[in-house]
Structure 1
């Protein structure tokens, strides 16, 4: 691939020269065929992948800065990134659509979570809540303040350290110590 020739074609393409666009497509055809041959995307035929590559190529032409003189690398990265992004989108979409989204077998109602909470689960949660409340009563005011700040108000330990003008590592150590103290207090109840 002659880089200077490609740069000249890109300059002509930016001026809406159709012949230059066709020649640029011919120059990138081996790369695009190679990428499409190595790529499998569920639901896409090989010519669909080739079309996506060409779309990416011409989008990179429109976004390219002519002063950089590195179009081949720019377009190659754009094509590869577009295909990788397409794979990620299809992978995410396939889990929410089609056969993977909902199984239609005889006992499908067993797959759905129950709307009512069992008495046993509710009782266990109440016991856990009471035990945690007792464990938190054994903390002093400064320790309770850190737990409240980080776990109930959803701030970060970094923000707590900044607010208290302390080193971040000291705040982390303090948090670990408090959590170990709570764990030890919970262990007393079991």
Structure 2
């Protein structure tokens, strides 16, 4: 693509010369065909994507300012950005269309899962939380500090090891040992409750 020639065609096309617009289409045809062949957009075939590209080429031509930048770069970026927007829009729309979409019927309330927890789940979660609190209370102060720092305050083991001047592998092993200890305490508690 000859940049100066395309720039001249863009200037003439902007002035209203239809022949220049046709030549401009011819100059961009290889780029658009190549791009449309490489692009998949749900619900669009290759010809639809090409038409979107040509439509955007003329949109770029209308909004193009001759003094600011080169038309080739402006148009190619505009066409690519338009295709990316189309991909983004169809990706969001895919969930509400097609075979994966939910069919609305009279018994919809039986089809949709409820976001509300039932009483049994609430009580089980509360019991699990109490058991976990009891297990953590049975740890040493240093182990409780590690659990609080890593799990409740969402810090990394690496940061813990740096603050405690420990080797990372030592801190990671301590974390795993504490987690295993909590698991043993909980399973011992469950065995006592079951028996």
TM superposition score normalised by structure 1: 0.65
Q: Secondary structure at the match of 1:184?
A: helix
RMSD: 4.1
Q: What is residue 120 of structure 2 aligned with on the other side?
A: 120
Q: What is the distance in 2 between the residues matched to 1:21 and 1:142?
A: 75
Which runs of 5 or more structure 1 residues have no equivalent in the other structure?
none
Superposed CA offset, 1:20-44 (max 9, x none)? 7654431221342354356553344
* CA distance 1:168–1:119, change in 2 (3 Å): same
TM-superposed deviation, 1:10: 5.1
TM-superposed deviation, 1:78: 7.8
TM-superposed deviation, 1:161: 3.4
Q: What is residue 140 of structure 2 aligned with on the other side?
A: 140
Q: What is residue 130 of structure 1 aligned with on the other side?
A: 130
Q: What is the distance in 2 between the residues matched to 1:166 and 1:23?
A: 70
Q: Secondary structure at the match of 1:106?
A: coil
* CA distance 1:65–1:180, change in 2 (3 Å): farther
Q: What is the distance in 2 between the residues matched to 1:112 and 1:40?
A: 32
Q: What is the distance in 2 between the residues matched to 1:162 and 1:83?
A: 47
Of 30-39 and 147-156, deviating more is 30-39
TM superposition score normalised by structure 2: 0.64
Superposed CA offset, 1:130-152 (max 9, x none)? 22112212222222112212222
* CA distance 1:31–1:120, change in 2 (3 Å): same
Larger Rg: 2
TM-superposed deviation, 1:126: 2.3
Q: How does 1:84-103 map to 2 (within 5 A)?
A: 86-96=86-96, 100=100, 102-103=102-103
Between the two proteins, the alignment pairs up a number of residues equal to 179
